[in-house]
Amino acid sequence: MIGPAARRATARLPVPRTLRARLVTGLLALLLLTCGGVALATTEALRHFLVDRLDQQLSDTSGRYAASLEHRDTRVPGTTGSRSDTRAQAPGTLGARLLNGRVTNAGVVDGDADDAGVAAGDTPADTDDQVQLTAADQRALAALPVGGAARSIRLSGLGGYRVRAFTGQDGDVLVTGLPLRPLEATTHQLVTVEMVVFAIALATATAVGAFWIRLSLRPLDRVVAAAERVGCLPLASGEVELTIRVREDDIRTEVGRVGAAVNRMLGHVEDALAQRQAVEERLRAFAADASHELRTPVATVRGHAELALRHPGPIAEPVRHSLARIDSESRRMGAIVEDLLLLARLDAGRPLALGSVDLTRLALDGADDARAAGPRHHWRLELSEEPVVVPGDGDRLRQVVANLLANARTHTPDGTEVTLALGRGGGQALLTVTDTGPGIDAEIAPRIFERFVRGDRARSRTHGSTGLGLAIVHAVVAAHSGTVTLSSRPGHTAFTVALPLESPAGTA
């Protein structure tokens, strides 16, 4: 299992994120593995070849140098019984005589003048060929199998050697060996050359591969660019002309098929947006026409009800009650018609009557009206010291304040504390209506600004709410380039309206 420390270390590693970076990284890793494998294979092959050459040289010399040490007398310092035979022996050749597991004589051909003299048939002194072996070296030589294959050992002060042991003429053991230093030097030189060559090859392959991958992925970049341009379009609302398309390449390639699929998808999206826009236009037209047509009969019904109630003659109590109900419901229907007409105008994008609006004055008036309409609630007003002025339509913003306060009064019980706060923050005017009521159902809160959504499912229609108040608030605030948000939990519900402040020049 991977521990937490290992996971943290792995998380800190730079991981390529883009497809281009991953392809280049994969190509580089593949080249590294290939070059590493080639370097390892060639190095091992060369080493085996050179070792076989050393073994062949050991066989060709037949241990001549080691045999010449067999009867060498070293009991009297400075004297010799016979000379070392260094003919055809490479410098560094090792010779040793072992008797009863102990080394009696050992020497290394040093390639100086005495070795050359012997090769010419002379008999100069050659005591400088002798070497002193440590106890560890002697044990290593004594452990060699007599008559076996050559082995590689490392001797103190001499380095690595390839040695063989064979039986001498006097029942002793003779050891001959060749140094591994030339082999190791050749191997190291090969490794150095391979590293330089492979480094150049990796750099070249990486540069060429990155260029080729970039060239190959250029059609995919066009797909990404087209998708980004589509993502910047306001597809959520309004009429959108979706003319962006990806330049199609060869559909036999993967990127070409992706581009063709994206174009087909954009075509379907364009058709869907056109159909949605047509449906919304028909709905807006229907709502506007229906609301406009309903205004006259509603006003007529309301007028006849008021006229009947003002009749000077006696009116039976049941008839008076019915006339009062007709008048009340006609007023309510008139309010719904006016709200629908306002929403239809805002949906159609009709310009607002822009001017300088003092939100402080609107908050004062709205609080007074709310206190008069809901005397059983506790109303609080928190205003900034300086007037808060925004550019906008005064009548519409007054309706925003009134609707938020009416919503708090309507959907909270008597005795609830409602606070209207007005201030500044982040270059915006912030108007907040907070109440200590039961809060809004979490299932309804995400849709609270939609039309005909009611916060209290069990609420009867006798409360007078049309379900359009918060929808009007949202539409009016959006038309003023502002935002309205909701935060609700039991005992605390807050609607916050943020509007851009008026610039010093008095313009938005």
pLDDT tens digits, one per residue of 187-210: 999 999 999 999 998 889 888 888
Check whether residue 486 and residue 361 sit in a common domain: yes
Asked, for residue 221, whether it belongs to a domain, the answer is no
How far apart, in whole angstroms, are the C-alpha atoms of residue 508 and residue 505?
9
Check whether residue 99 and residue 159 sit in a common domain: yes
Check whether residue 341 and residue 321 sit in a common domain: yes
Check whether residue 87 and residue 136 sit in a common domain: yes
pLDDT of residue 303 exceeding 50: yes
Domain end: 350, 370, 389, which one? 350
Tens digits of residue pLDDT in 33-83: 998 899 899 999 999 999 898 888 888 776 777 777 766 544 434 434 455
Q: Which neighbouring-strand residues pair with 465?
A: none
Check whether residue 278 and residue 185 sit in a common domain: no
Asked, for residue 136, whether it belongs to a domain, the answer is yes
Check whether residue 486 and residue 364 sit in a common domain: yes
Quick check: 455 and 434 in contact, CB under 8 A?
Answer: no
Asked, for residue 11, whether it belongs to a domain, the answer is no
- Order of strands, sheet of 102-108, starting from the edge strand that comes earlier in the sequence: 102-108, 94-99, 173-179, 159-167, 151-155
pLDDT at position 507 is 45
Count structural domains, the chain: 4
How far apart, in whole angstroms, are the C-alpha atoms of residue 341 and residue 450?
16
Name the one residue in this structure whose structure tokens are 């040093």. Answer: 110
Higher-confidence residue: 464 or 173?
173
User: What single-letter amino acid sits at 466?
Assistant: T
Check whether residue 473 and residue 417 sit in a common domain: yes
How far is residue 493 from each of residues 402, 435, 452, 486, measured CA to CA in Å?
17, 5, 20, 7
How far apart, in whole angstroms, are the C-alpha atoms of residue 395 and residue 404?
14
pLDDT of residue 415 exceeding 80: yes
pLDDT at position 84 is 62
pLDDT above 70 covers a percentage of the chain that reads: 80
Check whether residue 83 and residue 162 sit in a common domain: yes
Check whether residue 107 and residue 250 sit in a common domain: no
Q: Where are the beta strands (DSSP E) in 20-93?
A: none
How far apart, in whole angstroms, are the C-alpha atoms of residue 354 and residue 363?
19
Check whether residue 195 and residue 128 sit in a common domain: no
pLDDT at position 498 is 94
pLDDT of residue 463 exceeding 70: no
Residue 1: pLDDT band by 50, 70, 90 thresholds?
A: very low
Higher-confidence residue: 172 or 72?
172
Higher-confidence residue: 368 or 455?
368
| Mean pLDDT on 161-168 | 88
| Mean pLDDT on 88-116 | 78
Check whether residue 428 and residue 466 sit in a common domain: yes
Asked, for residue 74, whether it belongs to a domain, the answer is yes
Structural domain including 198 reads 16-61+180-216
Asked, for residue 292, whether it belongs to a domain, the answer is yes
| Mean pLDDT on 92-96 | 86
Q: What mean pLDDT is reported for the chain? A: 79
How far apart, in whole angstroms, are the C-alpha atoms of residue 436 and residue 489?
9
Asked, for residue 452, whether it belongs to a domain, the answer is yes
How far apart, in whole angstroms, are the C-alpha atoms of residue 206 and residue 214?
12
pLDDT at position 459 is 41
Asked, for residue 2, whether it belongs to a domain, the answer is no
DSSP H helices, 120-180, are 135-142
Q: What is the DSSP-derived secondary structure letter of residue 75? A: S
**CB-based contacts of 458, cutoff 8 Å, min separation 6:** none
CATH number for 261:
1.10.287.130
Check whether residue 205 and residue 134 sit in a common domain: no
CATH number for 430:
3.30.565.10
